[in-house]
Structure 1
Amino acid sequence: MMKLYRPVNEECGLADWGKPEDIGAVTIEGDVRVAGRFDLGSPQSEVFGGVFVATRGQYRAVYAFHEHATLLSGRLELTDETTGHTISYGPGDSWIIAKGTPVLWTIVTDRISKSYVAATRDI
């Protein structure tokens, strides 16, 4: 399987996932809404991935998986709450987050979208 991610097709087939609390996170500020789709596996798989979308606001998530992601649209800041280190991201920027890392998401544009691959297996 091969999947192309472009702004024109990133929105196709997204499911409404609700609020951050519906995916195991905690809303800190704003009326954040999340949506996404799985293009590879599912969260019950050892490896899964797809597209994730979130609206403006702030939420905290402790990662239940290792993730590599690339921001497709929007701007955000990710803060590793273990170290206090914050990095700002724009379209085309990528990151790797290790399983168990507490991350504060601050979405500074109306919405962001990312493509990602996640692994639940310990490395």
Structure 2
Amino acid sequence: MLSLLLRDPVPELKAWGTPENLRGETLEGDVRLFGLPIMGDGRSVLSAGWFAATRGRYRLVYPFHEHATLVEGELALTNEATGQTVLYSAGDSWVIAKGEPVIWDVRSPRAVKHYMVSFHDLD
């Protein structure tokens, strides 16, 4: 069992580069990404881990289905297909379907989430 408590410190994350390293597109700022996988990989049915992005805006068409909980910072996510924007702070969660175009707007020095993803189709 893995407990994720907001009061616990975020582990040290490894540098993953820019949104372009994840097939994203930087829209504003010098966005840097960090992460730490803790379960599975892109070939697994489910994968989980930590992810962080520094202040700025970037676009990503999600290559996976994701459930995530923000554990640090503040960000707004905009679904470009629907125009819906939601502001998230620590403790808030979301679900994003594979293929959804999302704009990340990190409004704090960094935003850190814990994620669980699946690259597999759900049909």
Give the TM-score band, short-chain normalised.
over 0.9
Which residue of structure 2 lines up, in the alignment, with residue 22 of structure 1? 21
Gaps of at least 5 residues in structure 2 are: none
Note the 1:1-123 alignment, pairs <5 A: 2-6=1-5, 8-12=8-12, 14-123=13-122
Deviation at 1:46, TM superposition (A): 2.6
In 1, Cα distance between the equivalents of 2:14 and 2:42? Answer: 14
Q: TM-score, normalised by structure 1?
A: 0.93
In the alignment, structure 1 segments of 5+ residues that lack a partner are none
Report the 3-state secondary structure (helix = DSSP H, G, I; strand = E; otherwise coil) of the residue aligned with 1:100: coil
- Residues in 2 aligned to 1:45 and 1:29: alpha-carbon distance in whole angstroms: 33
User: Alpha-carbon deviations, 1:64-116, whole Å to 9, x = none?
Assistant: 10000000000000000000110000000000000000000000000010001
The Cα RMSD (Å) is 1.1
Deviation, 1:15, is 1.3
TM-score normalised by L of structure 2: 0.93
Which whole-Å deviations, capped at 9, do the CAs of 1:24-57 have from their partners, x for residues lacking one? 1110000000000111101232311100011000
Query: d(CA) in 2 for partners of 1:81 and 1:41?
Result: 29
Q: Structure 1 segments of 4 or more deviating over 4 A?
A: none
Query: C-alpha distance in 2, partners of 1:28/1:45?
Result: 31
- The alpha-carbon deviation at position 19 of structure 1 amounts to 0.5
Residue identity in the other structure for 1:37: L
Q: How many residues in Structure 1 have an aligned counterpart in Structure 2?
A: 121
What is the distance in 1 between the residues matched to 2:23 and 2:43?
Answer: 14
